[in-house]
């Protein structure tokens, strides 16, 4: 798959996804077993906001246990508005990491206690950095870590490169890998055979976790507001799918 899967338009609405037989069969995860206190979560996000879209509800559980969380921001997300006079790459390179910090604070995380690594790689060029990302992750991982990454078939070149690098590192270090679809909600169909449904699990979010995830996502104003006559970078139907009371993971 490649970035061409992400076509302009509304995408697949939640009203269609909620009738997916594959989604209905996805096993429910016990969060106490997935990431109990003392187990480290290493999350790699291709762009600012991906960590919230992927796992904002799960991250909300790390209030008070920031020492168990490693967050890696691969890029600064400067390519989200190509050709925009308002949101230039220079402005986005400064603004989007600020939005990420605010979003994490909305999850009640103490960012001063986080191991937060910003790699400052070029947005849209992560396939060229895949070997570097794999080495970086392999050097960082410890036994019993949970590595969380975007799905290697997600349809966006950066998301897929992160997924492949994470899969390589997880296999090399023999740690558990969880891959999260983001843009697949947009381009895929509810029973799409291209998704690895046998590996699908759902992590349930309670009302408080979902509310904090919504608040955190709202911090990413650059991605949510129209750019003149152009629609927001994040389509409404995609957001509705990613703001359901669960987070979908492929294990």
Nearest CA to 69 out of 60, 82, 78, 77 is that of 60
Whether residue 97 lies inside any domain: the answer is: yes
Walking along the chain (251 residues) 10 residues at a time, the average pLDDT comes out as 58 95 95 91 98 98 96 97 92 96 97 96 98 98 97 98 98 98 97 97 96 98 94 96 98 97
Nearest CA to 59 out of 104, 90, 125, 124 is that of 104
Whether residue 214 lies inside any domain: the answer is: yes
**Number of domains forming the structure of the chain:** 1
Whether residue 28 lies inside any domain: the answer is: no
* CA pair distance 175, 139, nearest whole angstrom: 12
Q: Cα–Cα–Cα angle for 15, 19, 24, nearest 5°?
A: 125
| pLDDT of 87 | 93
| pLDDT of 5 | 65
* CA pair distance 243, 213, nearest whole angstrom: 8
Helix, strand, or coil (residue 244): coil
Provide the whole-model pTM: 0.95
Whether residue 10 lies inside any domain: the answer is: no
Neighbouring CB atoms inside 10 A of 229's CB total 5
Say which CATH number the domain at 45 has. Answer: 3.40.50.10320
Whether residue 24 lies inside any domain: the answer is: no
Pairing type for strands 200-204 and 246-250 reads antiparallel
Whether residue 34 lies inside any domain: the answer is: no
CB neighbours of 165 closer than 8 A, spacing ≥ 6? 44, 130, 131, 133, 134, 137, 149
Nearest CA to 246 out of 16, 17, 10 is that of 17
Give the structural domain span for 146.
39-80+90-250
CB neighbours of 104 closer than 8 A, spacing ≥ 6? 51, 59, 71, 111, 114, 216
Whether residue 5 lies inside any domain: the answer is: no
Helix axes 207-218, 89-106, angle to 10 degrees: 160
Whether residue 7 lies inside any domain: the answer is: no
* CA pair distance 186, 188, nearest whole angstrom: 6
């Amino acid at each position: 798959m490649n970035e061409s899967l992400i076509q302009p338009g509304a995408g697949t609405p939640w009203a269609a996804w909620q009738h997916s037989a594959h989604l209905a069969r996805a096993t429910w995860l016990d969060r106490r077993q997935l990431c109990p206190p003392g187990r480290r979560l290493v999350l790699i996000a291709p762009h600012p906001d991906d960590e919230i879209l992927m796992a904002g509800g799960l991250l909300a559980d790390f209030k008070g246990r920031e020492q168990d969380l490693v967050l890696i921001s691969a890029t600064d997300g400067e390519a989200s508005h190509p050709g925009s006079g308002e949101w230039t790459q220079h402005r986005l390179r400064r603004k989007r990491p600020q939005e990420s910090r605010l979003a994490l604070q909305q999850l009640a995380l103490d960012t001063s206690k986080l191991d937060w690594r910003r790699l400052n790689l070029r947005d849209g060029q992560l396939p060229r950095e895949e070997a570097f990302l794999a080495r970086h992750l392999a050097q960082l991982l410890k036994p019993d870590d949970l590595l969380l990454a975007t799905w290697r078939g997600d349809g966006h070149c950066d998301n897929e490169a992160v997924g492949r690098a994470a899969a390589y590192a997880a296999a090399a270090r023999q740690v558990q890998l969880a891959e999260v679809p983001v843009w697949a909600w947009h381009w895929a169909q509810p029973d799409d055979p291209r998704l690895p449904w046998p590996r699908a699990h759902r992590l349930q979010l309670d009302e408080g976790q979902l509310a904090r995830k919504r608040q955190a996502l709202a911090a990413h104003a650059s991605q949510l507001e129209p750019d003149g006559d152009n629609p927001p970078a994040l389509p409404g139907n995609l957001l509705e799918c990613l703001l359901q009371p669960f987070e979908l993971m492929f294990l």
